[in-house]
Structure 1
């Protein structure tokens, strides 16, 4: 029993890492069945095969011998390898194989002899050596250069009665011989030029007619320029066709291809990169995809075709079986086709990533010249489904409410919204440079099958919402979008969300806000994974995650968090916490206890990552440090943490653990005396400092703001040149919002009629700036500040702030010249006024407003005179 366990352990270890093995230990073995002797030209073929045959400790069935500069294969050299199941000889210089050297390899299933110098493609159409009938996969591409090999034929492989997969080079003006129709086991043929040589400019009805049993055909990068209508008609079992990377083919020939496909079992069609990278945007026309309507296609790949528009009504002809569309790397723009997305009634997955990419200009010289469809051999086919009456019938059959027929692109925007595929489960539009404010957006009909949404790597800078609704989305990725705003209703339609990826945004201010912080995520009660890394978070509202009872993983890495004081009452499943690259020096006790409790209840280890934080030995953090050492196995990357002792010196992990274990002794002495003295001194200083600060509170606030503006704001030009200051406004009007009608209806018309320029917070404050900074700049930019005193003025904190800042401006910044004018709008009891206001009114003149006719005239005369002084 012990031997079995030991052998199992050895197999597991060997399987996970490559170990030296083989002749003289010059090969690598990933497990007891696979040996890799590639790139060891001094190891002879015979020596390797003798090792395979004679070594009883391992059972080598897969052997890699690539790039060893072997020139020939003889029977005597490889007889020790007869037990192999897979043999890879790619990239050698083999030009000769002895006739019967491989015939007795009865277990061989895979043989790769690509990138050699074998006479595979000759005018006889035969191979110069025999192959075992056990073969299922044969790779013979890139043997000699066949691009200009006139008269070359495909080799006769009809004796391989079990062969399933063949990889060959594509020959120009050459048809597959009739012998291939006899290979009933053949399932796939690859002629791709991406890993071989392929040059088939013209595909006729006869080119592949004898590949009657294949299910997959790869013709990528074969320089195909034209296809006849019956090219694939006789491939009745064909399920997968790859025509990608034929950059001179274009959509103009697509109908010819699709005509033949209607007689096959086609399920997957790849028509990516049918155009060179650079050029004008392309358009999918109605006739390009005509016959797809009559196929059972389930996957369509349209990547990198510069697609900008889709003709109106093209989507009506999408087959009802279509489930997956890949259209990455294009240039989609708005068009009427968006109102027909509902025609894709069975579509489950759409991949539209990497739209509008900036391409590497070096590709221009490597690709064929750009041509359009007009330079190709024209098709003689007419699309029988393009007639308006046929399209209308198909539209009605599909449901003309979600799949409307549009005549002359006529869309009534007030009655119709872009429809959505009802069966859609996955939608990806990442890294497309999309720049939008995600405001309210209704998506009809409700996509209740949608589960996966990825809009990462764009510029969706504001998430207001609500969107959708998307009642069953489980995964949402909006990372890397420069977002700094989230509306309280944005996540209302994602109530079943389980995985939210919103890292690399600017959400720190939103999540710390006392109004938004507790409410932004309150609807995400089923969330399991949340990634908030790299969001400039320095503080989180305690209730930010209060409703997330299913949350298991929380990633707050790469932020500026110092303290994580969050409400953990409902976090009953939280077991993974990522806090690396912050400024955290402790984890609150209630959070630590919650992690332990969850771990015990769920029978699952909790993990915390505190890499790249400030972790120092301190008596104040004694409980946390002892907890961290106790649970060091739960601390991810603990051995790589950076620790400091009480003196600030960096210490090793071992020394840190030792010092923490001795904290009881180091922190116990004189603790009571230190605490008592500290409390006494703190109370005394608090009283003294508090009194001084309160007495001079407005002076301090003014000086702090002025200092901030001077050091972090701008310096006016007149300060450089000692010129008289030129003000932007004649007066800044300070008033309570309740008095706004007096300001707008009476004061503004009167003053502006005298040519005076006024500054009002409702119209002149810069949005996004700190309110206090806006006030100071308004006072500084105005020759006078007018405080309109009313009972509501005295109740407003900001009004009092404006009054006191203007008072300080008069004292400190105007050379003793008063810039503050007080207007008493209504009778206000002096008991409601602050001491600062009463002191100012005792030593400075103020003006009382009256509605009595003569008194009002006198008021305006005095007021205008005060403003013009």
Structure 2
């Protein structure tokens, strides 16, 4: 509906917007056609524009209500057309300003609460300025941000009846001005306004006051003048530190509601207040209630004395209060309840005696409380439950935190309206069968934190929805589940018990949430969660023992039903093949349709651990355990779901999973991703490969046996094997074609055997092989093409063999690790050349290259030392003549094989005598010292090169290795200025007072904005010429520089010259530390490619002088100075110097622009 469709004579109009997202405009005259309008309501609107003309034509409007809307700051004259307004309500609009309302002489009701008002100007809203007396009866300024009360808004209001100052956090004082007429005031509310001072004498004219509500901040309240309030019906004085003197000031016989909460009262004297209906005296220091205190308050309905120090209740304390309905005595020190304490309050329906010290209680103390609905007795010392089965109206019973040891059969019988029972944190050990069966309305039963070990049946309870049995001592539910027949159970808490097994049919069909955490569960059944269509959450967090949760116990949910969430964090699973499905879910999520359709959602798997039998029961995070280690051992032949021929003879059923005698066999992985079969026949003394190894085996461990020779067909049926261990098996011979059918092999171990050679075709078909271990054999020959087809191999170990030559390891692009130490590599020049070449070519992948050493042919110890378990590596050249094994990384190849080429055939022992060795050692020491000295010098030049260059230049006038010197010679005479300084105007003080004086003193010719740029010239052209006519461009990089468009233009111009000429030099001086995000991309590149100067560096000035060209000298030795010539050049004159001939001048265009 739109405004245009509404009849013009409508008397009342309510405008309710859709939401705050759409803004509205109250355009001028938008409501002017509704001349008969008396009431206008605007609600839930976002108004962006309101003017005085918005209400034009509404002179007859009597009510304006704006609720829960966003309104802009209103102008003073916004309401100038609303001259007949009687009710003005502006609530929750966040407006900070109240427009002028002084012309509203008929205004009776003003409510501007729940806004952001801070002040009200007297010139705008002074109602006393009106010609007519104000008819205002109600003012509500509550919940605003006034710092002081705006008394101007109520001055002259002779008809004021109600004033509300609630929720004003910054107002701390109430003192009514003397010219405010309060003779008709009935209500004054200042709740939730923390007052430090209230001047009661300023209210002396409010003799008709009926309701007074004040809220203090524990500052004493001066009660002088309080006795004038003889008509009070309601009185609230909270947090004023009021003492017992208040009782003598209260003389209103009509007082019905009294609230003196949080004061310093110690006694109760209310004999003069017979009309009391509600009395709140909580949070005081009352220690004693005298007998007969409440005898005159026959109409008392509610008494709250919580948080006091009352220890004794007189027997007949409530005999004069037959109408008492609610009694709060919690958090006192009451120790006993006598039989007659509550005999006279038969209408009582709410009783709170919680957190006292009640230990002695007559069993029939509540016999007369037939109207009781809410009873709170928690936090006492009761040993048993008092008689309550007569309370037919009882709704809630809380007896938690007591010492109750049993609730006997029938104690809660007949309580048909009971909905909540809390008996937690007691000493209960047994739940009797059908304990609450007669409480047919019961919704929640809380028995947590007791010592319950046995739970009787709850029968067919129709409405009980929540049972809390957590943190008890339950180990099992005998015979049958106590919950199974419940018709409406939704939430069951049995965590923190001692449950070992989750048996079938424990939970009723209605179950929604089950909490099972912190038990000692080790086993789930296939039907543990079956037939629970409403289940949404199962909490298994923090089980104390490792447990097995097979897939068949959790995949019981129907395809189209919502799947529950299983919270399994902080658990340890028994990770066998039955749990492999969880590993697949961790790795691949719920991409598999079966997981999506039948399995719950698992949360917290990132904090779960595995206790893995296949890893000797090692415990580690489930994420770290590979899928292949989720394994189950088998001993007898069987067929999995992929093999259907187990009934046939084994020779006719190649897919059958057999297990060789004396071996251990495992099925691992998951059919949802990949299955593995591990055959462990290691260390069994086998002399041949067992033929019972299944063809589907993926890992075969035959290490530690005595296999001797392996012929071509012994492994032919292992086409799926990925890991094969044949190490430590005394193998001397491997027949060609042995591995031809093992095309899936990834890891092969042949180490610690007696192999002597590797043939060309042995590994031809192992194109997927990742690692090959041949170390610790007797191999003296490997065919050059032996590894040619190992396209995926990453690790090869050939250390501790008898190789003297190796060509097979070249050209393997995938190889990452190679071991070659412990072989008798030869030191003879013709042999060591090949070995050293191999070391150089494969340096990055030979992981034991530091342990490789060579021998001279004919030395007695050569062969013996190769096969030794450890080799003493020697690197000192002075000891070479006394040893037989020489470290190849330090082998003196050039000395032995280049300088002495004429003796290459002899052994090293014939090359040098002891004297020659000593001479060689001395020479070596001298050479090493010289090399060390050169290295130090080189390091100084590398790391402190710029400082060295700068120091030499400044002190000796010599440029060391400076390419710019050549460029400067080329530029000589072509550049008028030595340097152009580019900077931000905000850095001008540094330039004019620090940088320029220092460079001028040295004699550099500088181009700077403030003295060299000609006035009136095009700034862009001037910058271009300044950079072009300068040998260097100095850029002062500061935060202001990178933010300035002109500074960035100067950089881009200089950058253009770098790209154009390749010879221009930029000198960067860093004044501020700048992040990469603040830099222009080109500037960032230049800073990374060039070394910049940082002001404050101890070498700053030396580095700067070195970065600049040499100071030019004229013939008489003085520095050139011609400022006018420089300015003419920048102005666009083309000056051609030809000895002393006059220059040709060309004038450029003149354009005024801003500079950097």
TM-score by length of 1: 0.47
Which protein shows a greater Rg? 2
TM-score by length of 2: 0.36
* More helix by percentage: 1
